[in-house]
Amino acid sequence: MKQALRLGLAATAFVSLNAAADFSATPSGTYALDDTHGYVLFSYSHFGFSNPNVGFNRFDTTLDLDSDNPENSTISVTIDAASIDSRVEEFNGHLNGENYFDTANHPEITFTSTSVSATGDNTFDVTGDLTIKGTTKPVTLAATINKAAKHPFKGMPTVGVSATGTLLRSEWGLGNYAPAVGDEVTLHIEVELNKAE
């Protein structure tokens, strides 16, 4: 079942749509993650008492941008699953274990786009294959481009994306303790991508 991952919601509310849709300062080519400005977090209900935030410390994102026709663009993401960080060492061990991400046998989480379609001036539906713990399912991402412009300090073309979304963890073999611990997971994503030299 396809999951809708809603990209670019409240965090982009104050971004000029016209500026975000203008690719004139971002030529076609390969854009790589600025790992000092990249964040992948997820949250879930912990028995209804709280909504913990857990993240991944190491991941790569590559955007092959066609600035003349963004629908021809592709994006891929590779996450080091063992870099998961709950800020609780013991819990990190559980998350790395076979009942959850089983990182010894499944060291990477990947997403590879298969199609991109425009839904607005700076919004796109991105459909692709998400693989977690050896299970691959198609997902559709609703993506918002925050800004596409020359970076004021680095002087290189840069594309910024904010993201939120939801999925059911049980569909990827991560359903331990669901539904008492929430099956629905909310994603929070922030990335800046710089044109590769």
CA dist list (Å): 62 to 48, 59, 74, 111? 36, 10, 8, 11
Which element (helix H / strand E) includes 95?
helix 89-96
State mean pLDDT over 81-103: 97
User: Which residue has tokens 């209900």?
Assistant: 45
Other Cβ atoms less than 10 A from the Cβ of 63: the count is 23
Question: Is residue 121 predicted with pLDDT exceeding 90?
Answer: no
What does pTM read for this prediction? Answer: 0.86
Does the pLDDT value for residue 20 go beyond 50?
A: no
pLDDT per residue as tens digits for the range 35-89: 999 999 999 999 999 999 999 999 999 999 999 998 999 999 999 999 999 999 9
Distance of CA 36 to the CA centre of its chain: 15
At residue 128, does pLDDT exceed 90?
Answer: no
Q: What phi-psi label fits residue 64: left (phi over 0), alpha (psi between -120 and 50 degrees) or beta?
A: beta
DSSP character string of 53-70:
EEEES-EEEEEEE-SS-G
**72 bridge partner residues:** none
Cis check: omega of the bond before 179, within 30 degrees of 0: yes
Residue 192 has pLDDT above 80, yes or no: yes
Q: How large a percentage of the chain has pLDDT more than 90?
A: 68
Q: Which CATH code, of 2.40.128.110, 2.60.40.10, 2.40.128.260, 3.10.450.50, is assigned to 4-195?
A: 2.40.128.110
What pLDDT score does 127 carry? 86
Domain residue ranges in the chain: 4-195
Average pLDDT over residues 172-195: 93
